[in-house]
Amino acid sequence: MISLSERIRQDFETRILSGELAPDERLPTEQQLMAQYQCSRMTVHKALSALSHMGLVDRRKKAGSFVARPRVHSMVLDIPDLAAEVAQGGRRHDFRLLARQIRSSSPDWPGRTLCIDGLHLADGAPLALERREVSLKAVPEMRDADFTTQSPGSWLLAHVPWTEAETRISAAGATADEAAALGLSAHAPCLVVERRTWRQAAPVTHVRQVFPADNYELVGRFGPSGR
């Protein structure tokens, strides 16, 4: 059973996405909607406020509420932990540790950092090559963690609470080292996902994951069915 405010929100979402309400068209005022739906102002306000938050409606004081013009496709992209994502697809995930070293302080990284190279495998086949730096100042416990069974990403997800993150997605040709580790020919096209995370403006980790093309893609949706 959905709430009345959710029904009002869905009504207008449907009418906007169907084109019945065109961009720049004015929606009824909250007063009119109160009469139409026989409910209090807070209930219609919640519905219109949610549409405004979604970017489907622009609300302006005195002027009213208007169907927004589509400008960008803002897409919600879920980037889960690789181990979780592979497991959800019903495949077996393994992480093979390739190298591990501790580096001293650098301009980018105050304090010592743990540098980890590893390979993600899905059902035994190479999925992605990962190079990660972790600040031991931010996460000292990681020095003694074991990555033969658990990937550094999974470890961090389980041991470090919420962080701020920036993700960059690009393409690149595999370097000689990357090609060798992934079983590709040199310069083979790859998808590169790079993520930096912080806690309180202090860097926690920086990871670069290289996926052979045609082996991985990111999918995002926008629309009423998508939520």
**Which stretch, 17-25, 62-70, 129-137, 163-171, contacts DNA (CB under 7 A)?**
62-70
Name the residue type at position 51: L
Which of 63/76 has CB closer to a copy of itself? 76
What is Dmax (Cα atoms) for the chain?
Answer: 69
DSSP secondary structure string for all residues of 29-57: PHHHHHHHHT--HHHHHHHHHHHHHHTSE
* Choice from 52, 150, 154, 215 touching DNA (CB under 7 A): 52
Which residues have CB under 8 Å from 124's CB, separation 6+? 92, 94
Closest contact distance (angstroms) between CB of 92 and a copy of itself is 20
Among DNA, a copy of itself, none, partner that 148 touches (CB below 5 to 8 angstroms by kind): none
Which of 78/144 has CB closer to a copy of itself? 78
How many residues are recorded in the chain? 227
**Which stretch, 52-60, 160-168, 176-184, 202-210, contacts DNA (CB under 7 A)?**
52-60
* Size, binding site for DNA by CB under 7 A: 26
Which residues have CB under 8 Å from 107's CB, separation 6+? none
10 near DNA, judged by CB under 7 A:
no
